[in-house]
Amino acid sequence: MGQETIYFGRFVSAPTPDELLIRTGAVLVDSKNGKGVITKADWTIDGPNGAVSKFGVEAPVVMPKDNGFFFPGFIDTHIHASQYPNVGIFGKSTLLDWLTTYTFPLESSFGNVNSPMYKDSIEPPDPLARAKKVYNRLINRTLAHGTTTASYYATIHVEATNLLAEIAFKKGQRAYIGRVCMDRPETCPDYYRDESTEQTMANTKASIDYCRSLDPSGELLAHIITPRFAPSCLPETLTQLGALAKEEDLRVQTHISENLNEVKLVKELFPEQKSYADVYDHHGLLTPKTILAHAVHLSKEEMRLVKERKVKVSHCPASNSALGSGFCPVRELLDEGIEVGLGTDVSGGYSTSILDAVRNACMVSRHVGFLNEGDSRYNLGVAEALWLGTMGGAKVVGMEGRLGGFAEGMLWDVQEINLGDVDVRGQGGDTDVDIFGWENWEERVAKWVWNGDERNVRRVWIGGKLVHERR
Amino acid sequence: MGQETIYFGRFVSAPTPDELLIRTGAVLVDSKNGKGVITKADWTIDGPNGAVSKFGVEAPVVMPKDNGFFFPGFIDTHIHASQYPNVGIFGKSTLLDWLTTYTFPLESSFGNVNSPMYKDSIEPPDPLARAKKVYNRLINRTLAHGTTTASYYATIHVEATNLLAEIAFKKGQRAYIGRVCMDRPETCPDYYRDESTEQTMANTKASIDYCRSLDPSGELLAHIITPRFAPSCLPETLTQLGALAKEEDLRVQTHISENLNEVKLVKELFPEQKSYADVYDHHGLLTPKTILAHAVHLSKEEMRLVKERKVKVSHCPASNSALGSGFCPVRELLDEGIEVGLGTDVSGGYSTSILDAVRNACMVSRHVGFLNEGDSRYNLGVAEALWLGTMGGAKVVGMEGRLGGFAEGMLWDVQEINLGDVDVRGQGGDTDVDIFGWENWEERVAKWVWNGDERNVRRVWIGGKLVHERR
């Protein structure tokens, strides 16, 4: 491939919460120095040849199929890569028992041969082989689902975390990799925790160094400081992690107010702080580069603090429903001026797909509306939920203006969507989205949102580079 | 194929709400007189040859793949076949405006050339061609999703309704076909209603006759009396439909208490009855063969009436969430002793898949639990939700003991499920269910429930006949 590519056809995006923008046109993408930036965009061009002459370049033209369109890549602002094998395995648990029953055993198996998960294993434990299999598959799956950027939690293990970084980097996904920090003995199992603040910091630095060795620019791959959540870290660790994030100018991710018992636990463990948000603030972890997952049960005061510190929120609706955590008041967060994106929260969430998160965000918002006397103001529509999954996500990961749309200067992190046709005998494409022919384009996009899956994702590019193609 | 077939391998079913039964064994299915009944079942047989000798017949042996199993076909107790093209198209509407904005225009286009849906159409209106295309596709899709029995709403049009009956019958699906009755001028649009009680009754009888002409036994295909819902029918029509159902010993289906404004409307339209349920009771429509869809907002008293009349309930969680209707108190209904099955409620529900309804039933139940101080007693687990989608559905459609399991005497209405493997490079099957190899079978079933779709349905049989095979 040369340095430039023209993409011509239908482009769909959600530049604002209220607007589904559906246009035909062309963009020119420049892949010099490997960045893949949109250098020109023109919404008057009505054919591939027109694009070539309008842009004045002899570049190859890439087009979606007739029933297809380009859509910004999804941004998953909260996903536990190591938990992927557990998707769907949560029984009737809620957060705190879910962690000890399902999550810690699995995560520990990525680095500890004495993990409870190996207890009944016939084959000898091989943590790194397991990590390799899981991470390879997970990155393949998220790419297939159109996730071009993801903020990952790995495990506490440096080697396995570095492996995740390497796999994501090789496959070309834009990824923030978090080595999980957890070292408070009262709340972490013996078989799965850092030994001390010193070890936590040393291992975190080792992982930061490794990510920088792969991508010194931090453009495609960067470490993200990851205290699991307040209860799992020694107070001194929280303080040092906050300082490190500041020193190294790194993103931070953690959890907040997902579950009422968790909120209670934080109150008990940090009696001196006046709220859960205040615990993080006290330790210097509320920064404009911080992603807080969940935020289901924040008080008004906490929301204001989050807003004031320009902290971002990852809304994980599938997880909140599956674990019975509650109803995230997304409209209130947005009204407060807080920046919100979507997260799959695998495996609290059962799906690796942000399109599924888009659906669940819509569904949960209707529940919130119902609980507020049917006030439809709480409703997230298709456009707004897609906006959360793209533009919202871009803000959350600090890539506002660079990801989530098709404006000049933005990165070509894009998925090509294809929808199915139906003939009179009832035959159609091998997807769950059936287009009968009379639907307008807004309706077609809605049909994709509600029944689409990775079969509708034909190709995925990140930084102008093709990273996934369906069969 | 001969008259008998042996099915050998892993069988999964949910015979009770608390139990996921996972067994290896074999069953013998007799297809004499076209019924496809399980005549023998043996859970000690450990190989295909063992099955042949144990059963003492020279019959072909059908087996799932290593990662596969037989599972009872799903029963969709509430689905509007005609609304299939609208799946996912509902914007921010709730029930009553959804009907007038999206639903009546589409349904009317199956028989009325002046339907609003044809207003901007370039091609000349051809209602039956449309019905043929939609119904062929819809039956193909529901079969692909493993739905072996469905209770369908068509439209008010006799010809198009008969076409649905014919297509379902030819494709071999067990189907109850309802011509929709709606004739109350204040609530039904001029372009889409029966003219009078007389016309409603005559058209209903025409559709009953047609179904009987196709399947005199009513085993595979039967008409189901279908007053749309109380507000859309003249009181006299409700009375006559009740009498007809009794006279002809037919199933009845309608809607109840889906949405709070609907409940209010019923109160206004039927001031003399003391509740929504009482309206139906008053008109003789609450029978042991009646399926009430939704039942989200029933009072305790109504629940008791429903129980007393042995009426069944179709729980449609996806629809209730998508249209912001509320939270169906499934646990209360079950505790009351009411029989409950699952419905997709296409296109209030966005999906044709009962597996999706299983998921949504689990999710909504967790919301109900959260709203009841986190009481996990409200939770529907995977087993119970699968039970609702199979055994529960069998009770709802009056086929208890004949559908939903693998006991001797039951019909071979079964789907063969196949799950995907993952190799170390992250390659795997082309589905969204990834089995890593260390999961036990209960966990594998959970993974299927949460991320499965029609790609996991390899073959489907109804009454012993193969009706769907994946490529």
Candidates A12, A5, A30; CA nearest to A408 is A30
Interchain pair B88, A454: CB under 8 A: no
Of A359, A376, A448, the CB nearest to B92: A376
Same domain, B304 and B415: no
Contact, B73 vs B414, CB < 8 A? yes
What single string gives the DSSP state of each residue in B69-103?
Answer: EEEEPEEEEEEEGGGGGGTT--TT--HHHHIIIII
Mean pLDDT of chain B: 97
Question: What's the number of domains chain A is made of?
Answer: 2
**Test the A interface: residue of B451, B455, B469, B470 with most A CBs within 10 Å:** B451
Same domain, A17 and A58: yes
Residue A163 dihedral angles phi and psi, to the nearest 5°: -65, -45
**For residues A363 and A360, what is the distance between their CA atoms, to the nearest angstrom?**
5
Q: Is the peptide bond before B93 cis (omega within 30 degrees of 0)?
A: no
What single string gives the DSSP state of each residue in A191-214?
Answer: TSS-SSHHHHHHHHHHHHHHHHHH
**Test the A interface: residue of B123, B358, B438, B456 with most A CBs within 10 Å:** B438
Share of chain A above pLDDT 90, in %: 95
The predicted pLDDT at position A120 comes to 85
- The residues near A382 (Cβ < 8 Å, ≥ 6 apart) are A20, A358, A362, A445, A446, A449, B91
Interchain pair A117, B438: CB under 8 A: yes
Domain boundary among A377, A397, A417: A397
Residue A8's pLDDT band (cuts 50, 70, 90): very high
Interchain pair B423, A454: CB under 8 A: no
Residue A471's pLDDT band (cuts 50, 70, 90): confident
Residue B325 dihedral angles phi and psi, to the nearest 5°: -75, -30
Domain boundary among B397, B420, B442: B397
Same domain, B191 and B336: yes
H or E element that contains A138: helix A127-144
CB < 8 Å to A18, chain B = none
pLDDT surpasses 60 at A1:
no
The predicted pLDDT at position B2 comes to 63
CB < 8 Å to A353, chain B = 432
Interchain pair B428, A137: CB under 8 A: yes
Of B132, B140, B450, the CB nearest to A424: B132
Interchain pair B379, A324: CB under 8 A: yes
Q: How far is B424 from chain A (nearest CA, A)?
A: 4
* pLDDT tens digits for range A446-455: 999 999 999 9
pLDDT, mean of residues B199-224: 98
Query: Side chain identity at B337, as an amino acid letter?
Result: G
Residue B429's pLDDT band (cuts 50, 70, 90): confident
Same domain, A78 and A67: no
Residue A2's pLDDT band (cuts 50, 70, 90): low
CB < 8 Å to B453, chain A = 432, 453
**For residues B459 and B471, what is the distance between their CA atoms, to the nearest angstrom?**
10
Residue A425's pLDDT band (cuts 50, 70, 90): confident
Same domain, A69 and A103: no
Domain boundary among A352, A373, A397: A397
Same domain, B107 and B67: no
Mean pLDDT of chain A: 97
What is the β-pairing status of strands A4-16 and A19-30?
Answer: antiparallel
Of A89, A94, A140, the CB nearest to B446: A89
Query: Side chain identity at A305, as an amino acid letter?
Result: L
The predicted pLDDT at position A394 comes to 98
Same domain, A377 and A415: no
Interchain pair A133, B422: CB under 8 A: yes
Interchain pair A91, B381: CB under 8 A: yes
CB < 8 Å to B326, chain A = 370
A13 forms bridges with which residues in the sheet? A21
**For residues A44 and A29, what is the distance between their CA atoms, to the nearest angstrom?**
17
Same domain, A56 and A197: no
Kindly report the CATH number assigned to the domain that includes residue A158: 3.20.20.140
* pLDDT tens digits for range A292-330: 999 999 999 999 999 999 999 999 999 999 999 999 999
Q: Where are the alpha helices (DSSP H) in A172-259?
A: 197-214, 235-248
What single string gives the DSSP state of each residue in B299-346?
Answer: -HHHHHHHHHTT-EEEE-HHHHHHTT-----HHHHHHTT-EEEE---B
* pLDDT tens digits for range B267-304: 999 999 999 999 999 999 999 999 999 999 999 999 99
Kindly report the CATH number assigned to the domain that includes residue A65: 2.30.40.10
Contact, A453 vs A164, CB < 8 A? no
Interchain pair A370, B424: CB under 8 A: no
pLDDT surpasses 60 at B180:
yes
Same domain, B161 and B95: yes
Same domain, B187 and B38: no
Give the dihedral of Cα atoms A226, A230, A232, A237; nearest 10 deg: 70
Query: Side chain identity at B24, as an amino acid letter?
Result: T
**Test the A interface: residue of B20, B92, B98, B365 with most A CBs within 10 Å:** B92
pLDDT surpasses 60 at A415:
yes
* pLDDT tens digits for range B323-341: 999 999 999 999 999 999 9
How big is chain B, counted in residues?
471
Contact, B217 vs B169, CB < 8 A? no
User: In this structure, how many other beta carbons lie within 10 angstroms of the beta carbon of residue A121?
Assistant: 13
* pLDDT tens digits for range A156-177: 999 999 999 999 999 999 999 9
Same domain, B225 and B334: yes
Interchain pair B133, A422: CB under 8 A: yes
Q: Interhelix angle for A235-248 vs A197-214, to 10°?
A: 30
pLDDT surpasses 90 at B423:
no
pLDDT surpasses 70 at B19:
yes
Is this prediction's pTM over 0.90?
yes
Of A322, A351, A366, the CB nearest to B322: A366
Interchain pair A137, B426: CB under 8 A: yes
Q: How far is A341 from chain B (nearest CA, A)?
A: 21
Would you say the ipTM is above 0.90?
yes
Q: How far is B283 from chain A (nearest CA, A)?
A: 31
Same domain, A415 and A461: yes
Interchain pair A367, B362: CB under 8 A: no
Sign of the dihedral defined by the CA atoms of residues B293, B296, B298, B303, in that order = positive
Of B87, B121, B321, the CB nearest to A438: B121
pLDDT surpasses 60 at B1:
no
Contact, A342 vs A147, CB < 8 A? no
Higher pLDDT, B121 or A403: A403
**For residues B305 and B28, what is the distance between their CA atoms, to the nearest angstrom?**
42
pLDDT, mean of residues A185-206: 98
How big is chain A, counted in residues?
471
Burial of B373 (0-12, 13-18, 19+ CB in 10 A): exposed
CB < 8 Å to A443, chain B = 88-89
Of B85, B132, B374, the CB nearest to A324: B374
Share of chain A above pLDDT 70, in %: 100
Interchain pair B87, A141: CB under 8 A: no
pLDDT surpasses 60 at A461:
yes
* pLDDT tens digits for range B371-389: 999 999 999 999 999 999 9
CB < 8 Å to A144, chain B = none
- For residue A137, give its domain range: 74-397
The predicted pLDDT at position A10 comes to 98
* pLDDT tens digits for range B45-85: 989 999 999 999 999 999 999 889 999 999 999 999 999 99
**For residues B418 and B51, what is the distance between their CA atoms, to the nearest angstrom?**
22
